[in-house]
Structure 1
């Protein structure tokens, strides 16, 4: 399996630091989790049903004509290649979330990872183009107009444009959700990142009805548990809570960028849920932090100067102070 952030237990074992003593900044998950009402015992005892209002709430939240709830957008990433045949050529705009290229390769597709400037050159040979927008880990946003131009080129030949919008909740104006009535346009949305509830394992696929029906058949019945559906419905319907979450994420991202810059680590990218830094010091800083119980997300490259770190958002003032002290001590240690 591929490497991901959030492997706190493994870090605790490796560095002999109790899990409770860590500051985990290795994920792009909002550190403020939605308050959850107690789950009725009947929700655990019954199979989930699809007439509870979750789909309607998701359509309203995402501004989409139809949606399919899935057990995390990762489930859709793995299932989509099985719906696409015959095996063909897939472009993945990189660097990005590594599971996309992995899933298509695993299903036998020829995958080419391309830079944004290379898409125009290769797009007419691709059967599928995958774009993460905003990108993870760079935070790069591609304008909807550009994505729709690529989609038009692909769909002429029966192709797909798959857009992973896992980090789009704080920038809805850039979403293609409202355009998913178009044939060959598939948008993936993550629930857990923005709402701070990654453990719920909930995501949504936005696409034309026929494709959603095929994907539902591929994933199978009762994919999302009853308690998770109830939590999702409550969060997607909570408009004041969503506004508060957007505001504090955006403020924290600006604060994090300023803090890193003040210590000579100006970010190279990011979004409202994380900041991204390319530096030759990525590996030593990751190790320095881990030995002090602060977990960052390291992206190794063949050349050290191309390696990078992703910093998630601290939760509390104590967490901010701990991160500031760490950065101060690291800079002092370099001298």
Structure 2
């Protein structure tokens, strides 16, 4: 029987309907900056109507194209990274799992539901915020002796911490030596490819997750990829089952992965836009960190900033475990101007 406590929803960005009801502003009048999704995503080509009428072809070339794109030996297509997260506990041996205190919220519940003890960690920049139960994940220190697995989001969402491939593989080797696994979520790495370890995912003890939703802006397609060694690939392939990625989604993602010219242009554009957003926010906040797809502002006034911007029809994501606000990228010049004006107005309200 389902334990209803396990059905509790983890809060996420993109919940614009909730904001519209709460503030009484029509949905179409909002600027949604609550996710880190590219607001100018891949222009999906026309899709053959037949793709809607037949079962998805799991044996097409999508996975081979993805493996080549990521520089990996193999790739498993899944219905978004979320589907892979739910499968991870079934393919890993029981043991303590390290999950960031400030990171993507689905990992800890997935492992806890499966009976894995979960230890939370912070990176050195947030060491002042940890409670007694959290450990500091520091490349200069060994991992806790009783830790079996580690989940690393690189670059981290929302705190923007980033880890070099050398640091990542140091932890991987340390865990593999004790029969454990490093799970690296690279959902936001497409615009920061120098951080990726996808080309090393054939190793035992390493699982890499990639997303189509962020850089490509195709969040609605619900497609992600698992890059792993043959043993893990076989196990997750069995758990995934058939037809998990729809035919139309396969067409869209295939086109996006093959469009190298669009990817190069978009990577450059996002780097510039990410810096522009950070520069704008720095006028109002002393502590701004950013990736090409989002900025993170840490501060005790997070609730007031979210509420103040919402009253101007701008929705951002607030975090409470370490107080702060994540800002996604505005889609156009009008949205940039509205954000600038709203920030100025809210700052005056807070300081008055």
Fold match by TM threshold 0.5:
yes
Per the normalisation by structure 1, the TM-score is 0.95
Deviation at 1:3, TM superposition (A): 0.4
CA distance, structure 2, for counterparts of residue 33 and residue 167 of structure 1: 14
Alignment partner of 2:295 out of 275, 297, 311: 275
- Mapping of 1:103-122 within 5 angstroms? 103-116=110-123, 118-119=136-137, 120-122=141-143
Inter-partner Cα distance in structure 2 for 1:280 and 1:115: 18
- Runs of 4+ in structure 1 off by over 6 angstroms are none
RMSD: 1.3
Deviation for aligned residue 1:74:
0.7
Alpha-carbon distance between aligned partners in 2 of 1:53 and 1:33, rounded to the nearest angstrom = 23
Deviation at 1:116, TM superposition (A): 3.3
Q: Distance in 2 between matches of 1:57 and 1:266?
A: 43
Separation in structure 2 between the aligned mates of residue 47 and residue 184 of structure 1, nearest angstrom: 34
**How many aligned positions are there?**
329
Deviates more, 1:285-294 or 1:116-125: 116-125
Aligned to 2:128: none
Say yes or no: does 1:47 pair with 2:67: no
Give, in whole Å, the separation in 2 of the partners of 1:275 and 1:220: 37
Match of 2:34 in 1: 26
Q: Structure 1: where are the runs of 5+ without partners?
A: none
Secondary structure of 1:327 counterpart? helix
TM-score when scaled to structure 2? Answer: 0.91
From 165, 169, 179, the equivalent of 2:190 is 169
Can you give the 5+ residue segments of structure 2 that lack an aligned partner in the other structure? 1-8, 125-135
- Partners of 1:259 and 1:234 lie apart in 2 by 34
Distance in 2 separating the partners of 1:211 and 1:89:
19
CA contact (8 A) 2:58 2:242 kept: no
CA contact (8 A) 2:159 2:289 kept: yes
Partner of 1:94: 101
Q: CA deviation at 1:267?
A: 4.1
SS of the aligned residue for 2:44 comes to coil
1:75 pairs with one of 71, 80, 83: 83
SS where residue 195 of structure 1 aligns?
coil
Question: What is the CA–CA distance in structure 2 between the aligned matches of 1:328 and 1:121, rounded to whole Å?
Answer: 45
State the match for 2:169 in structure 1.
Answer: 148
Give the Cα separation in 1 of the matches to 2:145 and 2:204.
17
Aligned to 1:200: 221
- For 1:294 and 1:93, how far apart are their aligned partners in 2? 28
